[in-house]
Amino acid sequence: MLGVASKAFFQTLSHSRILKTLASRYGMSGSRSFARRFIAGETIADAIDAVREIDARGMHHTLDYLGESVGTLAAAEAATRAYLALIEAVHLAGVEKNLSLKLTQLGLDVDKAICVDNLRRILAAGDRCGFFVRIDMESSKHAEVTIEIFETVWRHGNQNVGVVLQSALYRSEQDFERINKLGARIRLVKGAYREPKAVAYQDKSDVDAAYLRLAKRLVSEGTYPAIATHDEAILDGVKRFAAGQGVTPERFEFQMLYGIRRDLQTSLVAEGYRMRVYVPFGQEWFPYFMRRLGERPANVAFVLRSLLAER
């Protein structure tokens, strides 16, 4: 239960303005900036430098321009334009074209129709130069609408787009059937948000068991699925299952977050598996960063050590 409690604690802290101000002041500047471990930087240039390094290690990447839960249409428009600028910059840089985004960043909580328009603008620009776009999954209250919007754009012909399912949510088995029928690409994660008992497993062992169950279905029935986890036991289970079913490594990919378990990222590539690293960047890094702390309280010690060393 420590996991649930620490997720809840850090999710609450992620709304603290004082902490956010302090973090913005100290987190990304200085030679030992603690946020840099998990965030590639604040600018597109930082992000492109980071993905070049990842690509040079024989890995793939997906770029996430950080931002979520915007409260105004102006902020949603700014995020949309930032994604359009990112598409242009990635295209010019000649690196792999793969993005991840969040619908609440495009205005979902303000005006659903405008959010869909914003998403379509990004998908249209991306389609013109061969991008794949993944719609991240946010908290459970956004799950149904996220899948509905995904289905809408998919049926309109934007098929270079995929979604995410969280094994923590009870509904994900049914969502798997619904999305898999379309032949769409699914990324499977455990789920980064604190969720109530009514909708989600509370015990880590249940979340992990649901993960392995869904991962096996994805590997045998899915369309180029993404198994996104740093959990070694699950990774071993998936590798064994795929080999047993004769599913070769180019039919799925593993994904991990920037700065987390780089050792495992490297060893999976050495074993011949595909590895995609999720590379977040931008100025709105605080909520993302707090979720990473909540997942592993040992990260707090790392942050404190960095701050003390900096002083």
Name the residues annotated as catalytic: 136, 187
CB 38 within 8 A of CB 258: yes
Q: In this chain, which of 191, 222, 225, 287 binds ligand FAD, going by CB under 6 A? A: 191
Binding flag, residue 229, ligand FAD (CB under 6 A): yes
Asked if residue 60 binds ligand FAD (CB under 6 A), the reply is no
Rounded Cα gap, residues 201 and 22, in angstroms: 34
Which residues on neighbouring strands pair with residue 276, listed in sequence order?
60, 255
Residue with Cβ nearer ligand FAD (76 or 192): 192
Q: Is 148 helix (H, G, I), strand (E, B) or coil?
A: helix
What lies within 8 Å, CB to CB, of 87 at 6+ separation is 97, 99, 122, 125, 126, 129, 131
**Cβ nearer to ligand FAD, comparing 231 with 284:** 231
Residue from 190, 201, 274, 285 that binds ligand FAD (CB under 6 A)?
190
**CA–CA–CA angle 45, 49, 53 (5° rounding):** 165
Interface with ligand FAD by CB under 6 A: which range of 16-24, 43-51, 188-196, 214-222?
188-196
Query: Could you say which residues in the range 159-178 bind ligand FAD, by CB under 6 A?
Result: 164, 166
Q: How far is CA 279 from CA 37, 41, 216, in A?
A: 11, 10, 26
Minimal CA–CA distance to 52: which of 9, 90, 5, 14?
A: 90
Choice from 192, 210, 214, 227 touching ligand FAD (CB under 6 A)? 192
CA 270, 44, 230, 222 dihedral sign is: negative
Residue 154 binding ligand FAD, by CB under 6 A: no
185 touches ligand FAD (CB under 6 A): no
For position 280 contacting ligand FAD by CB under 6 A, the verdict is no
Nearest distance from C-beta of residue 252 to ligand FAD, angstroms:
13
Alpha helices (H) in the chain, listed in sequence order:
2-13, 17-26, 44-56, 73-93, 112-128, 143-155, 172-180, 204-221, 232-245, 262-270, 286-295, 298-310
With CB under 6 A as the contact rule, which of the stretches 13-21, 107-115, 145-153, 288-296 interacts with ligand FAD?
288-296
Q: Report in angstroms the alpha-carbon separations of 285 from 24, 68, 78, 292.
A: 9, 10, 16, 11
Is the CB of 177 or the CB of 232 nearer to ligand FAD? 232
Per-residue mark of binding to ligand FAD, 248-267 (x: CB under 6 A)? -------xxx--xx------
CB of 292 to ligand FAD, least distance (A): 4
Using CB under 6 A as the binding rule, whether residue 278 contacts ligand FAD is answered as yes
Beta bridge partners of 163: 186
Size of the residue set binding ligand FAD (CB under 6 A): 23
Smallest distance, ligand FAD to C-beta of residue 214, A = 12
Under the binding rule (CB under 6 A), the answer on residue 295 touching ligand FAD is yes
Tokens 């960047």 correspond to what residue?
Answer: 281
**Applying CB under 6 A, which of residues 210, 228, 268, 275 lies at the interface with ligand FAD?**
228
C-beta of residue 117 within 8 angstroms of C-beta of residue 156: no
Q: Which residue ranges make up the site for ligand FAD (CB under 6 A)?
A: 136-137, 164, 166, 189-193, 228-231, 255-257, 260-261, 278, 292, 295-296, 299
